[in-house]
A and B are shown apart, each in its own frame.
Chain A
Amino acid sequence: MEKVLIVGGGAGGLILANSLDLDQYDVTVVDKEAEHYYQPWYLYVAFKGSKRKISRPISKLLKPGIRFVRDTIKEIDLDNKKAYGSYEVIYPYDHIIVATGTTPDPNVIPGLSQIYNQVGDFHSNLQNSRKLWNSVKNFKGGNIVFGMASPVCKCPPSPIEGVLLLEEYLNKKGLRSKTKITYFTPYPRAYPAEPMNRIVEPMLKERGIEVMPFFDLDMIDTENRKIKSIEGDELNYDLPIIIPPCKGTKIKFRQDVKDEDGFIKADKYTMRIKGYDDAYAVGDVNNLPTSKTGVTAHLEAKVVANLIQGIYDKFTGRINCPFDMGYGKATFVIADYENPVVEYPPSRTKHFMKMSMARIYWLTLKGYMDPVFDFYFEFTNPRKLNEKYNKTNPPKASSQPQ
């Protein structure tokens, strides 16, 4: 039997493992942690104080017959098809999938690690999300600066989701009039994709959240409570809520396959690591020109499972990011490589769908919800939705395969 080695027990790794034919493949999943977390819920831990249980043991999320090993892969030799774990354990393979996600790296911005440790954040882990909830709960009014510390991060809607949920919380607590919220971003506008920004910016304005565009965070002066940008601007704060920069994988490769931030260079249609036909990078860890989200990891994993099993398939670049806009409404950021982001209006139904996803997530990992997703993805096909909703933005020129 051919050996498939999956490094990482996140959404991409688990969906991929559970999609392979176990009569034909010997599948091993390796992760340094024993638990898998439903990361989108960090938002509700940090801004609503949710206490829902959001983790399950990885071993229980795999179909019977798949081996789970708790270990840290330190090095991979793609030419000799070997991965090296702790204590000199060697994992030989026929196919390897690296799906290790991203790693927060607050140390690259001077002053940020202090904020990260004291205030918390809602991207890294459950503990830091709880810390942020404590900071939010104890806030009594003043200046809040809210934004991300680097241009590329997981889940593009999440910074805006965070600031909208925070505004809702402060409003309900009666602290809104005592608080100035400034949302800073390195982009030219609040939401980087223009069609979605047409929905987001009026909403921020209506809720009194100031937007500071072209603010690429350079350093934090924790003594004088100021953040400074590369462009030379400054903002004062009482409470800084800052998403740390995220980096790719710390695994060493004997071949040159990582970019300067540790993301793995992979083909945008097949997720094959450049130069190899038996090695793949799935989910947040690759450098594909698409969003780093659970949905893309899910869809990429399905494509890779097919390719390994000899079935032709290709990733379309489809994204479908649920976007909570506060006060019980949500939308989805939908696009693919061929079609721009849809100007998809928020509604209560979409909020219900986002909340339902949190419930059915565990079944999704095992592939039990595939028929529902197949229907949903066709129903919300980006080309069709663009024809219906995008009045002012014609679909862009299609890109050619590389």
Chain B
Amino acid sequence: MEKLVDSRGSACPGPITDLSKAYRNSQVGDIIVLWATDQGVKADAQAWAKRTGNEILEMKEEPDKIVIKIRINKR
């Protein structure tokens, strides 16, 4: 299942909290698409994926947002 998490504009607690929340509600095989505007999300998402054993499929910058696609491999 693909799930969109729109975290644009979130500065505090920030997009990584929305990602953690989506992870908690996810299952192995799910795809989480995170939208954010906070630049810090790029490093955070990478560290998060490495630590939790999940995979970043794509990370791209669009004019109005950063889009990060993550596949849940571990739950």
Residues of A within 8 A of B (CB): 150-152, 156, 186-188, 192-194, 196, 214, 216, 230-231, 260-261, 268, 289-291, 317, 319, 321, 333, 335-341, 393-394, 396-400, 402
Contacts and interface: CB of A to CB of B under 8 A. Distances in A.
B37 A397 contact: yes
Residue with the greatest number of chain B CB neighbours at <10 A, chosen from A186, A231, A290, A394: A186
Contacts of B18: 151-152, 289
Contacts of A188: 16, 44, 47-48, 51
Nearest to A321: B12
Contact of B64 (A290, A340, A399): A399
A289 B8 contact: yes
Interface in B34-73: 37-40, 44, 47-48, 51-52, 63-65
B24 A399 contact: no
A389 B11 CA distance: 16
Nearest to A316: B9
Residue with the greatest number of chain A CB neighbours at <10 A, chosen from B10, B16, B52: B10
Contacts of A340: 11, 38, 40
Nearest to B7: A289
B12 A152 contact: no
B52 A214 contact: yes
Nearest to B37: A399
B12 A333 contact: yes
Given A214-B52, A231-B52, A396-B38, A336 B11 contact: yes
B42 to A, nearest CB: 11
Contact of B20 (A187, A321, A335): A187
Nearest to B6: A289
Given A231-B52, A397-B37, A187 B17 contact: yes
Nearest to B12: A193
B49 to A, nearest CB: 11
Contacts of B44: 187-188
A192 B21 contact: no
A402 B47 CA distance: 29
B13 A152 contact: yes
A230 B39 contact: no
Nearest to B75: A230
Interface of B: 6-18, 20-21, 23-25, 37-40, 44, 47-48, 51-52, 63-65, 75
A214 B24 CA distance: 13
25 contacts: A152-B18, A156-B12, A156-B17, A186-B20, A187-B13, A187-B16, A187-B17, A187-B20, A188-B44, A188-B47, A192-B12, A193-B14, A214-B48, A214-B51, A216-B20, A216-B23, A231-B51, A261-B21, A289-B10, A289-B18, A290-B12, A291-B13, A335-B11, A339-B11, A399-B8
A260 B40 CA distance: 26
Given A151-B17, A152-B18, A290-B10, 16 more contacts: A151-B24, A152-B17, A187-B16, A187-B44, A194-B40, A214-B47, A230-B23, A230-B75, A291-B12, A317-B11, A335-B12, A337-B11, A340-B38, A393-B40, A396-B11, A400-B64
A231 B39 CA distance: 25
A199 to B, nearest CB: 13
Given A151-B21, A187-B17, A231-B51, A193 B11 contact: yes
Given A187-B16, A192-B14, A340-B38, A290 B21 contact: no
B56 to A, nearest CB: 14
Contacts of B7: 289
B37 A150 contact: no
B9 A268 contact: yes
Contacts of A216: 20, 23-24
A150 B64 contact: no
Contacts of B10: 289-290
Nearest to B39: A396
| Cβ-closest 8 pairs across A and B | A151-B20, A289-B10, A337-B9, A335-B11, A192-B13, A399-B8, A156-B13, A400-B64
